[in-house]
Amino acid sequence: MSMIRKVLEPIGDLWSLVVGLRITGRNFTRPQVTVHYPREQVPTDLTDSYRGPIALVPHPRDATKSKCTACMICVGACPSQCITVVKAPAPVITPEQEKTFQEAEARGEEVERPVAPREPVIWINDFSLCSLCGMCVEACPPRCLTFSHELNAVGTSRDAFLHNLLIPYPGSLKPTPEQVQKLQER
């Protein structure tokens, strides 16, 4: 009896094969779901919600400048310490200027001493460290940071991932040679 069952059971089990072939056959006639990547790309509505490398928002009045005020809150919020922001330096006051200011103050006039512009001169995001968490974007008080939708961040060296976020803003202030040197030393 058990021998007959042993012979018949595998024959009955062949039904699984028929079911599998039916499903495979049905899917064989369906359109392809994958995309041939280098020749085709996924539709952009899928990548619009992707949080890519961060970018700066342009200033509402001057599009050649970024909205960033160099308050450094994003630097403190970042979990991976991948943001480097350098403030614009305080203007150098020459002795002659200082003298005119003092004379004006002595006359009782209100003097507007030049202050450091509230702008960054260096804004570097080390994308090789960034984890795209969005802490900097949420922490930014003037809401000047945003996510780009750049998918293809590819490079052949580590330096390729040091994103300079001020490149799209030609109107932003330039760093002094000392500031650049200090950064390079780090």
Nearer to another protein, 49 or 184 (CB): 49
In angstroms, what is the minimal distance from the CB of 99 to another protein?
Answer: 42
Residue 29, Cα to own-chain centre: how many angstroms? 42
In angstroms, what is the minimal distance from the CB of 21 to another protein?
Answer: 10
Q: Is the dihedral of CA 164, 165, 168, 169 positive or negative?
A: negative
In angstroms, what is the minimal distance from the CB of 56 to another protein?
Answer: 18
Give me the residues that bind another protein (CB under 8 A), please: 13, 15-16, 19-20, 23-24, 27, 33, 46, 49-51, 73, 76-80, 131-135, 138-139, 147
Contact indicator for 72, 85 with CB cutoff of 8 Å? yes
Nearer to another protein, 4 or 19 (CB): 19
Contact indicator for 137, 146 with CB cutoff of 8 Å? yes
How open is the CA angle 89-93-97, to the nearest 5 degrees?
Answer: 155
Nearer to another protein, 43 or 60 (CB): 43
